[in-house]
Amino acid sequence: MWRPRTTRIIAYAAAGVFMLGMIALAAVVAPQFKTFDRTMLVLFGLFCAWVLHMLARCRVVADASGLTVVNAFRTRRLAWAEVVAADMNVGDPWPTLDLADGTSISAMGINGAERTRAVRDLRELQSLLHARTPEPS
């Protein structure tokens, strides 16, 4: 399984700080703010924390039958034969998986910002793809 470490740490820390800030703001806000306004502040904080959680949950999981790519708001299950290649150019935020049907998807579970780790993870994924993809006849 590949998942970005830095992204998860920053996203969950930011979600916690943001939620604490919204709760504190709702508690000490001016008296003209009613219960509805205070509730909406906390709900907005929860919404922002949920978005950050969705970004932090990204991962790529390999098993015997294929890959599961969990991106922020979509999960795709791919058989090994469906994935043709995995590439990431310098400066790309994450690798792109080229699929047999001519489309491509991003694999946000490998984060280009973690340079050394991203290169290592991409090489592992590429070697798995090479080992699992049948040779053309």
Residue 87 lies in a domain: yes
What's 124's domain CATH number?
Answer: 2.30.29
Per-residue confidence at 90, pLDDT binned at 50, 70, 90? confident
Average pLDDT, the chain: 92
Q: Average pLDDT for residues 68-85, to the nearest whole number?
A: 94
**pLDDT score, position 91:** 87
9 inside domain: yes
Burial classification of residue 85, based on how many CB atoms lie within 10 Å of its CB (0-12 exposed, 13-18 middle, 19 or more buried)? middle
Amino acid at 8: R
Q: What range defines the domain where residue 93 resides?
A: 59-132
Q: Residue 137: what pLDDT?
A: 52
Q: In this structure, is residue 137 part of a structural domain?
A: no
The number of domains in the chain is 2
Does residue 52 sit in the same domain as residue 71? no
What's the pTM value of the predicted model, to 2 decimals? 0.84
- Residue 132 or residue 5, greater confidence: 5
